[in-house]
Structure 1
């Protein structure tokens, strides 16, 4: 690729990723600290604002983008509470949810339970925080209240999912998270029926296979194009995928590959226009693929 073309593409995609940055991060951290301190006072007898709590979900994986609505927080409960709850038997999950909700309510009176009995704090900036109290399990897994499960409990392993993203991102010098964020913009712009976790899982797999995974920002147009082609090649009748790291099931009920195939064609045209230095047409097509957060650089 011509150096001048690569520089122009690099500038666009660097600006694009800047535009995708999550807003209100100081407010998010302040809320996290308040929640953590409130729970730690009761469960651990200290006022730490960081220990025993972790961001999980897309924000915890570092793949969320501007406009993210849900901030998920895992809170690690002490084992003695698990012992205490044993006397409640099948009612134990509801007792735990009620107890944690009441503690959080002291700091956030607006706290509520969702239809699935998740602890939710509606907040400013169109954000809502979900707090997941959980007990440590085997191999970095956690056991959390799940009233949709007959036992009242389910197991998940969000920390391994975060580790897989972090390892891939380190191996490929930041491109894993960059691509995951770019594809969230694509998903939002084109209303693509694919979950964020499935996107992240497929990005990790793609980066291991992509022949240009050692390139820099000048290849980000090609990277997005090639990933769309990769998505388009997924079997449309595959109903279940498995998350990298945790191996949890990720249902896929609609054909996201058809959306990817259409936009692979647009991205291919955009790349050709970039190579021919027809930047106006390239920008027009990138805007179609990635939506209004893609910068118009004429």
Structure 2
């Protein structure tokens, strides 16, 4: 039964807009071939899908397509000898060539100055112009700080991913995809190349999983999360699968998030009463729960923890496409009788709970998307969820997702393990999210919005 849930989950994660992605890829490739190669209107020559799509590890809801377009070697001298920042000049030229095909779309050179970005209705295409090196790798432009050339070797990474997919009967691909689903559900930024690299290293460390089946997935993820949480927080970078190029992750958020996921599932087996509830907490509400479990153990848990008639709760996954690519941090200021008494995360860190009648001002402490959005509009949504017997008794579970501002005010009301979540939505995609627990130990009234 559990193996069927994992298999169904895998099927739910597969990309469902591949036809549209392929159409855009071919159209852009044809336009650039027309611009840079005389008498060449091919939809395939010199263009390559790279990134997660190229490595076949992308999932449904992916918000960008990374593509490489290889320019004629004769063009390199033109931009390398440019009087000032030839890398920027190259990116601007590619931008203008693409604009000939998409005059009405938003086309920018992204803030990091390495790719040209075309924004469509529900995803972006990131075009990286490049020149092939003699060893088969590529050099691409970086226009920051006066301009320089950087090296990348995506074809070797794609080749190694394809090899592992074949060696594991596709399970390397499925595990990489489920790690992406976990990342999106937990709400932290982690690059696709780092995900694939660490899963690749995991398979090499635990070769018994090279012949894994869906029946082994619970044990595999117990070992995988233990492996991820054990990574060195002081490590500066990991060497990418295949290419061994450095892959950086400054925040290392995945380590602490993996520890939480590990603690959720480390003692589970197929007979555990809380098996599916914990798997949904790790992988998201879309993780399939068998009908027999929904009618028995899972419905019992739902009544006990979140209430039998919890029909008002909304889930961001059912409202928007989710692809977490930016860091979002929310904090909460606690006030009593008009005076500031501290921050909620500090209170939680000290393993304390909130008393009644406290005013809570939730606010965005860090919004990385704001810094990198290049003028793209975005919206802020909040969710307040009450949990526990008191919430059920008073029929005040809440859980609706509502548009708001950078601040949201509540008052502590009744005891329970509540939580507040914030989302950043841009172009119909949830690109960042964060959650903060609100543990309240005693009070007579439900947590409510301060008017």
When normalised by structure 2's length, the TM-score is: 0.60
Cα deviation for residue 89 of structure 1 reads 4.7
Higher relative contact order (CA 8 A, sep 6+): 1
**1:206-217 superposed matches below 5 A:** 206-210=202-206, 211-217=208-214
Q: How many Å separate the matches in 2 of 1:116 and 1:297?
A: 45
Q: Displacement, 1:269?
A: 3.4
Say if 1:292 and 1:39 are closer, same or farther in 2 by CA, change over 3 A: same
- Paired residues of 1:267 and 1:286 also in contact (CA < 8 A): yes
5 Å-filtered alignment, 1:113-128, equals: 113-117=109-113, 118-124=115-121, 126-128=122-124
Matched, 1:283 2:279: no
Equivalent-residue separation in structure 2 for 1:162 and 1:149 (angstroms): 30
CA distance in 1 between counterparts of 2:83 and 2:228 reads 45
> Residue 265 of structure 2 aligns with which residue?
267
What corresponds to 1:194 in structure 2? Answer: 190
Q: Secondary structure at the match of 1:48?
A: coil
1:292 pairs, out of 273, 285, 289, with 285
Specify the alignment match of 2:235 in structure 1.
238
Give the aligned partner of residue 224 of structure 1: 221
- Please show how residues 134-149 of structure 1 align to structure 2 within 5 Å: 134-148=130-144
For these two proteins, the number of residue pairs brought into alignment is 285
Alpha-carbon spacing, 1:75–1:149, altered in 2? closer, same or farther (3 Å): farther
Q: Which moved more, 1:96-105 or 1:236-245?
A: 236-245
1:105 corresponds in structure 2 to: 99
Q: 2:59 aligns with which of 65, 72, 88?
A: 65
Q: Relative to 1, partners in 2 of residues 1:70 and 1:242: Cα closer, same or farther, differing over 3 Å?
A: same
Q: In the TM superposition, what whole-angstrom CA distance separates every residue of 1:201-258 from its partner, at most 9, and x where no partner exists?
A: 0100111122232121211222222111111121222232221222222223234222
Counterpart of 1:5 in structure 2 is: none
For the 8 Å contact 1:70–1:129, the answer to whether it is kept is yes
Distance 1:86 1:253, change over 3 A: closer
For residues 240-295 of structure 1, the C-alpha deviation after alignment (integer angstroms, 9 at most, x for no partner) is 2221222222223234222212211222233x1x1x2x5x6321111011012211
Secondary structure class of the residue paired with 1:88: coil
Question: What is the CA–CA distance in structure 1 between the aligned matches of 2:109 and 2:237, rounded to whole Å?
Answer: 29
Q: Given the two structures, how large is their TM-score scaled by the length of structure 1?
A: 0.89
Equivalent position to 1:253, from 236, 250, 255: 250
User: 50-59 vs 106-115, which deviates more?
Assistant: 106-115
What is aligned with 2:179?
Answer: 183
- How far 1:85 moved relative to its partner? 3.2
CA separation of 1:236 and 1:86: change in aligned 2, threshold 3 A: closer
Larger Rg: 2
Aligned partners of 1:196, 1:70: CA distance in 2, in Å?
Answer: 11
RMSD of aligned residue pairs (Cα, Å): 1.8
Following superposition, which runs of at least 4 residues in structure 1 exceed 6 angstroms of deviation? none
Provide Cα deviations, 1:136-167, integer angstroms capped at 9, x if missing partner. 01322111110136542111111111111111
* Pairing 1:7-26 to 2, within 5 Å after superposition: 8-26=1-19
Q: Give the superposition deviation at 1:179.
A: 0.6
What is the Cα deviation at residue 86 of structure 1? 4.3
Q: Distance in 2 between matches of 1:259 and 1:20?
A: 21
Once the two structures are TM-superposed, the CA of residue 105 in structure 1 deviates from its matched residue by: 0.3
Higher normalized helix content (fraction of residues) = 1
- Further displaced range: 177-186 or 39-48: 39-48
* Unaligned segments of structure 2, at least 5 residues: 292-451
Q: Render the CA deviation track for 1:15-38: whole Å, top value 9, x for unaligned.
A: 101111123111111100100111
CA contact (8 A) 1:238 1:252 kept: no
Q: 2:20 aligns with which of 15, 27, 32?
A: 27
